[in-house]
Each structure stands twice: as C-alpha cells, then as structure tokens.
Amino acid sequence: MLYQYDPEQSRAGFFSLMIERDLFGAIRVVRNWGLVGSKGQEQVGIFPDETKAAQALEAWAAAQQQKGYTDL
C-alpha cells in the first residue's frame, strides 16, 4: 500500500498492489488507486508465473514512488 498527501490541495491518495491467484489458478496482479476515502479504480493483469507478476508489481511500485507515493 502506497500513500501520497498533497498539502496544497488538502487531499490524500492511495495506490494498492496485490498478487493473488484466482479460482482457476491464474496469477493476477491487482492494482487499486484513488483518493483516500473513495472506492477508487481497479485494474487486473494476468501473468504466466509468479516471478513475472512480482517483477511487474515492483515496477509499478517504483513508478508510483517516483511520483511521490511512500509506503504506508
């Protein structure tokens, strides 16, 4: 879970990343983002193995940290 606070606009955002396996065994990376207090948006990516899913998760986390998000 990553968090960002913008004091100029008095708003906070979140970015959540999770690796999970669905009922059929597919490996999914679930991304959820939005403003704190809202449901936010969700996007799911399917990956062939856990290694590729973990690499994608790390890349998305690094990209968000460059935008100012920090670990919660």
pLDDT tens figures, 10-67 = 899 999 999 999 999 999 999 999 999 999 999 999 999 999 999 999 999 999 999 9
Report the SS3 class of residue 4: strand
**For the domain that residue 22 is a member of, what is the CATH number?**
2.20.140.10
pTM, 2 dp: 0.83
Structural domain boundaries enclosing 33: 2-71
| Residue 36 backbone dihedrals phi, psi, to 5 degrees | -60, 130
The single residue listed with the structure tokens 């998305």 is 60
pLDDT of residue 9 exceeding 90: no
Residues 6+ apart with CB under 8 A from 63: none
pLDDT for the residue 72:
80
CA dist., res. 7 & res. 23, Å (int): 42
The whole-angstrom separation of Cα 53 and Cα 60 is 11
Give the count of domains, the chain. Answer: 1
